[in-house]
Amino acid sequence: MTPVRTSLVCALAAALAACGGLQSIDPNAAMSAGTNLLKAATLSDSDIVALSTEACKASDTQSTVAAPGSAYAQRLARVMSGFGDMTLNGQPIAYKVYMTKDVNAWAMGNGCVRVYSGLMDVMNDDELRGVIGHEMGHVALGHTKKAMQTAYTVSAARTAVGAAGNAAVTALSTSQLGDLTEQFVNAQFSQSQERAADDYSFDLLKKKGMNEKGLVTAFQKLATVDGGQSSMLSSHPSSPSRAAHIEKRIKDGG
C-alpha cells in the first residue's frame, strides 16, 4: 500500500474510531467518505479552482461584504490597482472586503482575495499591499493547494464519522463548505512557506514599482495588534527576523 493510501486509511480509521467503532456504519456513506479522502490527496489544479470557487461563495454568503461604493471597497480597489492586471495561477483576481474587526486576509486558488476591514483599519496602503502580496504568494507558490487538500481531508474524515450514525457530527457533514473554508482560513503554514511568501511579496512589490518597506512595517504592526494575539498571527506568525530579512533585501537592493 502506498504511503498516501496508508495515511488515508489511517485518517478514515481514526474518524470512525472517534464515534465508537464499526457497528452502525452506513456502508454507502462510509464509501463516499473514503472516496473523498482519496480525492483529497489527488486534487488537481482544476479541482482546486472549482473547490475554491464554491468555498469562497459560501464564505461570502456567511460574511458581511462591503458594498461596492463604500469607503472600504473603494480603498481596496485603489490598493489592488497597484498590482495591475495580474492573475493568480492563471485565474483573474476577485477581491472583496469583509466587514469585521478581525485582522486577517487570505487568498484562494481561484483568485479569490478577501481582506478584512479590521486589517485595513490598522494598515496603510503600502502595508496592505505587502500583506496581500504575501497571501497571493501562498497561492502562486502552491501552499494554498496543500492547505485546501488538508481542509478537504478533515471535512471528508468528519463525513466518515457521520457515516457511523453520530447525529451531532452528521450535522457537520451537511455544511462541509463552511467547515472546509474555516479549516482553510485557519491553516498553518510552515516557516519555510512563510519566508517564501514573504520573498514573493517583496519581489512582486519591487516588480510593480511599489513600496517594499510596507511589508516590513506590516510585520511590525501585526506583532503589536491586540498584544500580538490578532487572528492573523494565529496562522501567519510574524517576527522581528522576518521584518529584518525584508529590510536586508531592501538594503541589498533586492
Element (H, E) at 87: strand 87-88
Element (H, E) at 92: strand 91-92
Concerning whether 54 is annotated as a catalytic residue, the answer is: no
Q: How far, CA to CA in Å, does 3 sit from each of 8, 10, 23, 50?
A: 9, 10, 27, 27
Nearest to 162 by CA among 54, 28, 16: 16
Q: How far, CA to CA in Å, does 10 sit from each of 17, 52, 96, 117, 195?
A: 10, 26, 39, 40, 31
Catalytic residue among 54, 127, 135, 194: 135
Cβ neighbours of residue 217 closer than 8 Å, sequence gap 6 or more: 124, 126, 127, 130
Residue with cell 476577485: 94
Active-site residues, by number, are: 135
